[in-house]
Amino acid sequence: RWRLFSDLLYKHNFSEIIQRASKIFVSHSQITRLYSRFHSLDKGENGALSREDFQRIPELAINPLGDRIINAFFPEGEDQVNFRGFMRTLAHFRPVEDNEKNKDPSAGEPLNSRNNKLLFAFRLYDLDRDDKISRDELLQVLRMMVGVNISDEQLGSIADRTIQEADTNGDMCISFSEFIKVLEKVDVEQKMSIRFLH
Amino acid sequence: GFLHFHGVVLLEILQGVTLGGDKEASETSNETNTVQGLIQRDDSSLEKEIGERRGNRRGDFALSDVFYFSKKGIESIVEDEVTQRFSSEELVSWNLLTRTNNNFHYISLRLTILWGVGVIVRYGILLPLRVSLAAIGLSWLVIGTTVVGFIPNCWLKDWLSELVHVMCYRICARGLSATIHYHNRENKPKKGGICVANHTSPIDVVILANDGGYAMVGQVHGGLMGVVQRAMVRACPHIWFERAEMKDRHLVTQRLRDHVNDKKKLPILIFPEGTCINNTSVMMFKKGSFEIGGTIYPVAIKYDPQFGDAFWNSAKYNMVSYLLRMMTSWAIVCNVWYLPPMTQKEGEDAVQFANRVKSAIAQQGGLVDLSWDGGLKRAKVKDTFKQEQQKKYSCMVVGDDSSE
C-alpha cells in the first residue's frame, strides 16, 4: 500500500509539484532534474529525505561542515524534508542574476538575495537560532573546520579576536547585522552561488 | 551460423524501431544520448578560495570561511561524482524500456503503443527464446566440461576444454542477444598473464570469454553456480576460493601467483574494482591484483545503453531479477578494447601501477576516471578524507606556509 502511495506521489502529483516548484526555481528542466536527484537520494522511497540519506553522499560526508549543511535542510525539530523543503534550501544558492527573469513584486525577498545567502551562512553558526553567534557556537564551528590540528587555547583566542572585531554593541556575541557589516566587502553572490547548466 | 544471423536481424529491426521512437521523444537528440551535468562545478581548491582573501595577512580565520565549505557541500548535494555511479545511467531520449524512463518524459499515445508492442515482443518472443538458449548453454558447459574432464592431461584436453568453454559462452551470449565488437585483438591476453577489466555486471565474464579462454577467479557458491563451478574446474584450472580463504590476503595472492607463474595456464580474469559500477566511470582499482606480478592485460568494456542497461544494481535486484531484465532488454551491445600489456615499472608501487592501468582503461572506454572506492556503494567513506581537509584548512588558519 505504501508503495502505491509513493508511486502516486511521484507520478500523478508531479505536475502539481512542478507548478508549485516553479515559484522557487524558474526553469522546468532544472526542477525535473532536481526531482530526479531527490528521488535517487530517497532510498526509503517515502517522498522525504532523512539525515542519513544526505550522509550517504561521500563528498558531503567528508566535508568538515557536512553536518551543519545537512542541518540547514531540516526545520526545527523535523527529521524529514520533502521536495519543497529540499528545493527551498537549494534555492538560496541560485545566482542572483536569475532574479531578473522573475520580477514579481508581491513575492517578497527572493531566497537567493544577498541577504538570504548571508542568513544561510549565519545559521550555520547560530545553532540554537537565537539570532546571535555566541563564543561557544563560534568555537564549535571552528572546531569542526580545523579538526584536531589546533589547540583549544589557540582556537579560543581566534574566536575571541573574531568576536572583538565584529561586535559593536558589546554583548560579546555576533548579531546578524554585525555579521553583515563584517562581510560587507565580500563577494557573497559569487561565493554562495551555483550555476545551473540548463 | 543461424544464431548469428538471427542476432544481426534482430539488431537491425530494433535499431530502426528505437530510432523511430526516439524522434518522437525528443527533437533535439545530440550525439550522445546521455545526460550532461546539472551544475557547473569549478574545481577551485581550498587554498585558492580561502587564500584569496588573505592578502598580506598570513594566517587567520574569517567568518566568510564557511562559504567555501557550504558551496562545496551544496554542490555535492545537487550532484556528486560517486552516488550516481551506483545506479543506472540516465538517457536523454527514451529507449522504450519502462525501466529507463526516469526523467518523467511525456509519453504520447503513439509512443505508448510502440512501447506496448515492444513489451509483447520482448516478453513473449525474445524471453522464451533467450531462456532456452541460456539453459542450453549452461547444460552444455556442465556436460561438456565433465566429459572433457575424463581425458588425461594433454594438449588435446586443453584444446577441447577451450572449445567447450567458448562455445558455451557464445550460446549464452546469443541468449542475451549480445553483439560484441572486439578491438585491437592483437593485444588479447596471453597465457600466464592477468586480464583486468572494468566491472559492470556478471555478464562481463560472458562478454570477454566469448573471444577466448580465461581462468576465472571467484568465491565458491552453492546451488546451480556451484555445480557449474565444479564442472568447469574438471576441464581446466580455475581458481575458486572458499569464503574463509578470501579473508587471508596472502593466501589469495599466493594462489594467484602460482597460477600466473605456470605459463601453460590460461590468463586469469580479475575485476579490480571489486563491485559493479554503472559503466559511466572506472572507480578505484584495489591493489591486490597488481601485487601478484606478471603481465597485466587491461581491457575496457563499454556497453551501449541505448539497447539495454547492463548494470547490475545489486542493492535493487537480485541475480534472477537481473537476468530477467537482461533477457527482456532489446539487446546487449558492447565494445571491448584490448589494451597493450602493462607491467609494473621500477620504483612504482602497486597503488600507482593500479592507477596507471585504471587511467588507461578509462581513457579507452570513454569513462570518467575516479579515485573513489567502489566499496562506497555499501560502506561509509573513511574519516581520513575529512581529516585531510581539516588539516589543510588548519594550516591556512595558523598561517603555516610549510604545509604539504
ipTM for this model: 0.89
CB contact (8 A) between residue B73 and residue A198: no
Same domain as A162, residue A197? yes
More confident site: B247 or A145 = A145
For residues B305-314, give the mean pLDDT.
Answer: 82
Give the highest mean pLDDT range of B104-118, B153-167, B183-197: B183-197
* A4 part of a folded domain: no
* A74 part of a folded domain: yes
% of residues, chain B, pLDDT over 90: 24
* A198 part of a folded domain: yes
In whole angstroms, how far apart are CA A173 and each of A131, A159, A178, B67? 10, 11, 9, 20
* A67 part of a folded domain: yes
Q: Give me the residue label for grid cell 568576536.
A: A163
Q: By the 8 A CB rule, do B175 and B139 touch?
A: no
- C-alpha span between B117 and B107 (Å, rounded): 15
* A44 part of a folded domain: yes
CB contact (8 A) between residue A14 and residue B87: no
Q: Which residue of chain B comes nearest to A37, CA vs CA? A: B78
Could you read off the pLDDT of B361-374 as tens digits, one per residue? 999 999 999 999 98
Could you read off the pLDDT of B1-21 as tens digits, one per residue? 455 565 566 666 655 555 554
Same domain as A185, residue A134? yes
The confidence band for B28, taking pLDDT boundaries of 50, 70 and 90, is very low
CATH number of the domain residue A173 falls in: 1.10.238.10
Q: Which residue of chain B comes nearest to A36, CA vs CA? A: B103
Among A62, A93, A124, the domain-final residue is: A93
Could you list the residue range(s) of the whole structural domain that residue A160 is in? 113-198
Which residues from chain A sit within 8 angstroms of residue B53, using beta carbons? 186
Distance from CA of A158 to the nearest CA of B (A): 7
Same domain as A191, residue A127? yes
pLDDT of residue A140: 94
Same domain as A87, residue A117? no
Whether the predicted pLDDT of B244 surpasses 60? yes
Which residues from chain A sit within 8 angstroms of residue B70, using beta carbons? 65, 69, 120-121, 124, 192
For residues A3-21, give the mean pLDDT.
Answer: 57
For residues B130-145, give the mean pLDDT.
Answer: 86
Which residues from chain B sit within 8 angstroms of residue A193, using beta carbons? 71
Residues making up chain B, counted from first to last: 404
Which residues from chain A sit within 8 angstroms of residue B84, using beta carbons? 40
Same domain as A135, residue A89? no
Same domain as A124, residue A74? no
Express the helix, strand and coil content of chain A in percent, nearest 5 each.
60, 5, 40
The confidence band for A198, taking pLDDT boundaries of 50, 70 and 90, is low
* A190 part of a folded domain: yes
Q: Which helix (H) or strand (E) holds B301?
A: strand B296-303
Pick from A35, A43, A57 the residue to mutate for testing the B interface (most B CBs within 10 Å).
A57
Whether the predicted pLDDT of B103 surpasses 50? no
* A173 part of a folded domain: yes
User: What is the sign of the dihedral through the CA atoms of B373, B193, B186 and B168?
Assistant: negative
CB contact (8 A) between residue B381 and residue A179: no
pLDDT of residue B285: 93
% of residues, chain B, pLDDT over 70: 82
Q: Give me the residues paired with residue A133 across strands.
A: A174
pLDDT of residue A53: 93
Which residues from chain A sit within 8 angstroms of residue B397, using beta carbons? 145-146, 150, 158
Same domain as A133, residue A57? no
CB contact (8 A) between residue B376 and residue A58: yes
pLDDT of residue A5: 43
Whether the predicted pLDDT of A67 surpasses 90? yes
CB contact (8 A) between residue A69 and residue B73: yes
Q: Which helix (H) or strand (E) holds B321?
A: helix B319-327
% of residues, chain A, pLDDT over 70: 82
pLDDT of residue B93: 59
Whether the predicted pLDDT of B98 surpasses 70? no
Residue B301: what are its φ and ψ, rounded to 5°?
-120, 125
The number of distinct structural domains making up chain A is 2
Mean pLDDT of chain B: 81
Give the alpha-carbon dihedral of B9, B14, B19, B22, to 10 degrees. Answer: 180
pLDDT of residue A36: 85
- pTM of model > 0.90: no
Distance from CA of A18 to the nearest CA of B (A): 12
CB contact (8 A) between residue A69 and residue B74: yes
* A59 part of a folded domain: yes
Q: Which of A82-86, B304-308, B359-363 has the lowest mean pLDDT?
A: B304-308
